[in-house]
Amino acid sequence: MEPVSRRVPLPLPIPDTGGPVSPRPHRYTATAVTTAAATLLALAVPAQAAPLASADYEAEDATVSQGLVESNHTGYTGRGFVNYDNVAGSYVEWTVPSGASGPTDLTFRFANGTTANRAMDVTVNGTLVADDLAFPGTGAWTTWRTVTVRATVAAGAKIRATAVTANGGPNVDKLTVASTDAEAPRPPANLRSTGKTHNSTSLAWDAAADNVGVTGYDVYQHGQLMKSVDGATLATTVDGLDAATEYTWTVFAKDAAGNVSQASNPVTVTTDPAPPDNQAPTVPGALRVTGTTATTVDLAWTASTDNVKVTGYDILRDGAPSGTADGAATSTTVAGLETGRQYRFTLRARDAAGNVSGPSNEVTATPSAGGPGGVPDPGAVRQILGGTDVPWGVAFLPDGSALVTERETFNVYRLTESGQRTALGKVPGAQGTGGEGGVMGLEVSPNFATDGLVYVYHTASGGNQLVRARLSGNQLTGWQTLLSGVPKNRFHNGGRLRFSPDGRHLFVSTGDAQNGSNAQNLNNNAGKILRLNPDGSIPADNPFPGKAIWSYGHRNVQGLDFDSQGRLWASEFGNSSTDEVNLITRGGNYGWPGCEGTSGSCGGTIPPKKTWSTASASPSGLTIINDHVFVATTRGERVYRMRIDANAGLVEQKVYFQGTYGRLRTVEVDRDGDIWLTTSADKDGSPNNDRVLHIDIVYSGGARAS
């Protein structure tokens, strides 16, 4: 892992623009947006297929023979450029630390303020790949151009550009090495379990094939990267697992160009029971009430200890289970309570072997009105619908009912607050991926009353795509594809849709399709947040002309919403350490794959506003009420709430419903200002065991949302 660095703070995002529409509850019309132009450097060779991975190497950092590093002409990158001596045989030589043993574009950025052609020979490890390559005059020493040659480049290659005339070479700024290998490896075959213990699983697989060569394998457990090995390794053991727990494994092959295969066959393994451990954790100490609102009670305690490890705490309300807390936690918030009613609370600690401590001391608390006004707290919870299957997209119609998509079945249905469900049909052409693909995001046109349009994001044979249809009665008709070909994989398909507050633009989140290099590649739409007109066309004021891309450098964004200032916020799944909530800036780079959270190569990228460990979050849905951000989490099995402060920070975090309803997928605000929350029990493989819940929102003064 590269050394930890801080991301460079960049300007606040520019809000989306537009005229007035009827906004969703607690969301507001944005202000103005400015435009910017993109500067493109023209290649001196015909355009080729977009590379999947590239790296820049500054000339001043290379080996220079008969030349000087200078900075007297503007427009260079890095710290300067190399001025060749006026002699044949002067050269610059770069050592490339990584690369594919396959076709590679070598692009030289140069300036030549004379009219003479300062031709050079280009060699790779001493082998001539370009004889007398032309570097013609550019008109001025401050005018930079590029010239490209294709060669085979492997890791550790030495690339030399040598002047062949008495004029010497041009001024050389940098070399860009970009693989042109666009072919992904085939999926590894015959993944199998070769052994297990109470805290580990051993796996093996057959070698994957590739047109150039497989350089590594990534081992995933239900979308979470657990381990990476090199291309010669066909077996590994993953440690640190929980005892007596079912895990589903897949393996992906990758090559040096950054191409990643589709998934291997899945293998489900249940770890062995833990070794005998009959010692219970100590009793949690000093349970106390630290705060109340109209519908919540804050609790804190002194941590328990255990001979192995405390894995969690069970919260009991009036003697009945009411939720859980992490083993490292010493506080929690119990939500969904009745104002004015007295409750009794106790606490027990547990370990991985199932041993449970005795109860803590009992405390009583009565939720009461008061506190700062305008703070939305979760109130009463009731089930709207059970027996549904991974309800992923939720969007509200003018009459207050909701449209809901089921990711795995491809169904769309209308659901009333009273629980009446009406089938509207399946999304045509939708496909699953055996993981996180299927029918996902859903939005209703801001002008639904007149146009009846519904937007859906789903996986299809050619990739992920955005489609729309017209809802008439109980039928969705006239399906149109607005955007297609977004790279897909078993996991990391993104999928959230959100209209801007003015209704003029539709934002679409995509995943990196398990290929991190996609996130930095502006030639495809994976690992991005996209911005489109409602008809699918590209807005003229997007940051990258002719492209749908609004921001990039994302791993897997599944939550989007706007605050009262028209600023876009997004929740993002991390890789192996850090999940994020980001404030999205027009044209911003959010760092993936080089940067995760604030770790890695983060220079010049935009830092997250909030991070959690992947074990305590895995954030999916995100919604905003009165500038309080609510995030639903899958692995974390909880809802987070944070306030947006005057500096666009996220403060005053609260945790609700941890362990109460299991994995949580989507959180949305209805037209009454209350929350609809969906569960996501997709890990256990049992269909139709999810729920849609309704949560009253009560403000600290005691009033319901309106």
Number of domains in the chain: 4
Q: Give the confidence band of 98 by pLDDT, cuts at 50, 70, 90.
A: low
Q: Find the mean pLDDT for residues 242-266.
A: 90
Of 127, 157, 179, the residue that ends a domain is 179
Q: Find the mean pLDDT for residues 132-155.
A: 92
Q: Give the confidence band of 705 by pLDDT, cuts at 50, 70, 90.
A: low
Q: Are 129 and 78 in contact (CB under 8 A)?
A: no
Residue 294 within any structural domain of the chain: yes
- Together in a domain, 204 and 134: no
Closest CA to 148 of 103, 113, 115: 103
- Together in a domain, 233 and 211: yes
pLDDT of 54 above 80: no
Q: Are 648 and 640 in contact (CB under 8 A)?
A: no
Lowest average pLDDT, out of 36-45, 309-318, 416-425, 593-602, goes to: 36-45
Report the CATH number that the domain containing residue 314 is assigned in CATH.
2.60.40.10
Q: Give the confidence band of 179 by pLDDT, cuts at 50, 70, 90.
A: confident
Q: Give the confidence band of 47 by pLDDT, cuts at 50, 70, 90.
A: very low
- Together in a domain, 148 and 193: no
DSSP letter (8 states) at residue 260: B
pLDDT of 525 above 90: yes
DSSP letter (8 states) at residue 532: E
Beta strands in 71-119 (DSSP E): 81-84, 91-96, 102-111
**Among all chains, which residue has been given the structure tokens 């939550």?**
559
Read off the amino acid at residue 634.
T
Q: Find the mean pLDDT for residues 102-108.
A: 85
Q: Find the mean pLDDT for residues 545-567.
A: 97
Q: Give the confidence band of 347 by pLDDT, cuts at 50, 70, 90.
A: very high
Q: Give the confidence band of 104 by pLDDT, cuts at 50, 70, 90.
A: confident
Q: In the numeric block, which tokens belong to residue 125?
A: 């490890």
Beta-carbon contacts of residue 254 (< 8 Å; ≥ 6 apart): 185, 214, 215, 216, 217, 218, 260, 261, 515
Q: Find the mean pLDDT for residues 220-233.
A: 91
Residue 683 within any structural domain of the chain: yes
Q: In the numeric block, which tokens belong to residue 609?
A: 């506003």
pLDDT of 229 above 80: yes
CA distance 238 to 644: 39
- Together in a domain, 302 and 361: yes
pLDDT computed for residue 408 by the predictor? 94
pLDDT of 631 above 90: yes
Read off the amino acid at residue 3.
P
Residue 649 within any structural domain of the chain: yes
- Together in a domain, 103 and 169: yes
Residue 436 within any structural domain of the chain: no
Closest CA to 178 of 297, 282, 31, 43: 43
Closest CA to 497 of 505, 489, 488: 505
Residue 647 within any structural domain of the chain: yes
Residue 340 within any structural domain of the chain: yes
Beta-carbon contacts of residue 246 (< 8 Å; ≥ 6 apart): 268, 269, 270, 684
- Together in a domain, 126 and 208: no
Lowest average pLDDT, out of 97-111, 189-203, 350-364, goes to: 97-111
User: Mean pLDDT of all residues in the chain?
Assistant: 89
- Together in a domain, 240 and 309: no
> Regarding predicted confidence, which is higher, 358 or 32?
358
Report the CATH number that the domain containing residue 641 is assigned in CATH.
2.40.10
Q: In the numeric block, which tokens belong to residue 411?
A: 């169904």
Of 332, 365, 398, the residue that ends a domain is 365
Lowest average pLDDT, out of 104-108, 216-220, 554-558, goes to: 104-108
Residue 576 within any structural domain of the chain: no
Q: In the numeric block, which tokens belong to residue 620?
A: 């999916």
Closest CA to 529 of 503, 501, 498: 498
Q: Give the confidence band of 147 by pLDDT, cuts at 50, 70, 90.
A: very high
pLDDT computed for residue 49 by the predictor? 33
pLDDT computed for residue 639 by the predictor? 97
pLDDT computed for residue 40 by the predictor? 26
Of 239, 270, 301, the residue that ends a domain is 270
CA distance 52 to 585: 24
Q: Are 107 and 178 in contact (CB under 8 A)?
A: yes
CA distance 531 to 6: 28
**Among all chains, which residue has been given the structure tokens 């640190």?**
240
- Together in a domain, 175 and 69: yes
Report the CATH number that the domain containing residue 78 is assigned in CATH.
2.60.120.260
Beta-carbon contacts of residue 346 (< 8 Å; ≥ 6 apart): 287, 316, 319, 359, 360, 361, 362, 363
pLDDT computed for residue 685 by the predictor? 61
Integer angstrom CA distances of residue 340 from 291, 337, 700: 14, 9, 13
- Together in a domain, 150 and 58: yes
Q: Are 260 and 489 in contact (CB under 8 A)?
A: yes
pLDDT computed for residue 478 by the predictor? 97
CA distance 357 to 310: 10
CA distance 336 to 297: 9
Closest CA to 54 of 144, 148, 161: 148
Residue 428 within any structural domain of the chain: no
Domain range for 347: 285-365
Q: Are 242 and 213 in contact (CB under 8 A)?
A: no
**Among all chains, which residue has been given the structure tokens 């710290």?**
79
What pLDDT digit, counting tens, does each position of 603-629 carry?
889 999 999 999 899 999 999 999 999
- Together in a domain, 205 and 99: no
Burial class (CB in 10 A: 0-12, 13-18, 19+), 704: middle
Closest CA to 507 of 554, 475, 463: 554
**Among all chains, which residue has been given the structure tokens 């489609």?**
467
Polymer length of the chain: 706
- Together in a domain, 171 and 199: no
CA distance 306 to 300: 19
- Together in a domain, 645 and 692: yes
Closest CA to 338 of 649, 696, 640: 696
Lowest average pLDDT, out of 42-56, 89-103, 317-331, goes to: 42-56
Q: Find the mean pLDDT for residues 506-527.
A: 93
